[in-house]
Chain A
């Protein structure tokens, strides 16, 4: 059973471009979380999704950021018109309904130049 897969591992974008980060949860997991980690800091919750639904997006910036978890395919975190302050590591985690334990992917490290 493959773990949580995130891609790309590294992403470089120029200011003003769009960044799309993908997360494929573990097989059988229908709950996905996105976290952001700034250098030398802890992880900050961004959004919690179940299949086709956003359950809690209280940690998402109101502008430029969006997330989805379609019925088919990976979860996508989209950042429009990126700025230097968006440079961070973005981690995805998934869990199933029964276990409750969250498993993390290896992250996507976004660098905005």
Chain B
């Protein structure tokens, strides 16, 4: 079946550090891939997406590249800020139907 696996958190970084949150997926065919962010007490917000192999999604300094050969969609940011502290969810979907989420990775950025 289809599934998403994320690295376990929490990930604790100092401000301006480099961030990588690993995400791998199992799926048949060619799903779309997403990263969502959830701030405390809030719903999920779409951070970025990629719809086909080798696509790079980017937003607010975050990037992720759809790697079909390694079935991965790792999230990266060159310099994190305290305001980036949140829970990050990797997800996949076929035709944007029925998003399947990873378990989430909590990021804590310290000043």
Contact = CB atoms under 8 A, between A and B. Distances in A.
A91 B96 contact: no
A94 to B, nearest CB: 11
A105 B42 CA distance: 8
Q: How large is the interface on A (under 10, 10 to 19, 20 to 34, 35 or more residues)?
A: 20 to 34
A101 B46 contact: yes
B22 interface: no
Q: Is the interface of A mostly helix, strand, loop or mixed?
A: strand
A41 B44 contact: no
Contacts of A41: 103-104
Given A95-B96, A101-B49, A102-B96, A42 B103 contact: yes
A56 B43 contact: no
Interface of A: 4, 6, 33, 35, 41-45, 48, 56, 91, 93, 95, 99-107
